[in-house]
């Protein structure tokens, strides 16, 4: 008898995205992300205990043995971006205690064969303040962003970038929208590579480990 072949299928429901989908991950099957950061007994795994809409999420946690301030984890995804170069990124985030995080960073490096075009957003929970990376490779505070995220609840972050003009477009945190269209991104010459490198990074503020869950990670272009 022949062996029956089955293949899983994911149906995308109502998502806060538009345009052509480059990448969508609700962490239901394979782990597509690469981990960088502090070694030790860290956690970087698909976890069925908590999820936003599906059956599991990506659970990341800094080491619990030999801990030190600055312990960190970076989830990285290599992808691509067409000549349209207008990118929208969405991700769901949850932490049991955001105050154990010194800084959370969402970053996109677009290597276009000539330059590295970098757009980066920072969140400092213990200030609190949200920042962006400017054209001089320096962090700048976003006006009126002095609010925190509540613990043990899912938050939606949406970042829009126009790589054609070399500027941010907007940042949306849950229902709060920030117009970033006057801010230029950081551009550094690199004439060889062609890809999109998307990263989610955080580090601890003290010796206690920090934890962050990711779900519904999407990249779209239009």
Q: What is the pTM of this model?
A: 0.91
Residue 28 lies in a domain: no
Q: How many domains does the chain have?
A: 1
Domain range enclosing 143: 77-208+215-221
Helix, strand, coil percentages in the chain from 3-state DSSP, rounded to 5: 0, 50, 50
| CATH code assigned at 119 | 2.60.120
User: Would you say 18 and 87 are in contact if contact means Cβ atoms under 8 Å apart?
Assistant: no
Residue 153 lies in a domain: yes
Residue 68 lies in a domain: no
Encode pLDDT of 24-66 as tens digits: 999 998 899 999 999 999 999 999 999 998 899 999 999 999 9
With a pLDDT cut of 70, the percent of the chain lying above it is 91
pLDDT of residue 141 exceeding 60, the answer is yes
User: Would you say 145 and 156 are in contact if contact means Cβ atoms under 8 Å apart?
Assistant: no
Residue 219, classed as helix, strand or coil, is strand
Residue 171 lies in a domain: yes
Residue 95 lies in a domain: yes
For residue 156 the two structure tokens come to 């939606």
Distance, CA of 89 to chain centre: 8
Q: In which residue are the tokens 């400092």 written?
A: 124
Residue 96 lies in a domain: yes
Cα distance between residue 87 and residue 123, in whole Å = 20
Q: 178 has which bridge partners?
A: 171
Residue 53 lies in a domain: no
Whole-number average pLDDT of the chain: 92
Q: Which residues contact 136 (CB under 8 A, 6 or more apart)?
A: 186
Residue 12 lies in a domain: no
């Amino acid at each position: 008898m022949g062996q029956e072949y089955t293949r899983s299928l994911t149906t995308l429901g109502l998502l806060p995205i538009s345009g052509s989908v480059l990448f969508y991950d609700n962490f239901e099957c394979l782990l597509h992300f690469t981990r960088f950061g502090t070694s030790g007994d860290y956690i970087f795994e698909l976890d069925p205990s908590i999820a936003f809409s599906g059956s599991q999420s990506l659970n990341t946690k800094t080491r619990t043995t030999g801990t030190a301030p600055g312990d960190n984890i970076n989830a990285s995804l290599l992808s691509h971006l067409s000549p349209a170069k207008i990118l929208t990124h969405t991700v769901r985030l949850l932490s049991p205690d955001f105050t154990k995080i010194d800084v959370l960073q969402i970053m996109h490096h677009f290597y276009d064969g000539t330059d590295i075009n970098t757009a980066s957003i920072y969140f400092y929970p213990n200030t609190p303040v949200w920042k962006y990376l400017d054209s001089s490779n320096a962090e700048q505070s976003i006006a009126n962003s002095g609010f925190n995220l509540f613990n043990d609840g899912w938050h939606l972050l949406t970042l829009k970038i126009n790589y054609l003009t070399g500027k941010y477009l907007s940042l949306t945190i849950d229902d709060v929208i920030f117009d970033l269209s006057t801010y230029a991104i950081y551009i550094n010459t690199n004439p060889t590579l062609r890809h999109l490198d998307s990263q989610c990074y955080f580090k601890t503020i003290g010796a206690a480990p920090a934890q962050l869950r990711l779900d519904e990670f999407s990249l779209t272009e239009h």
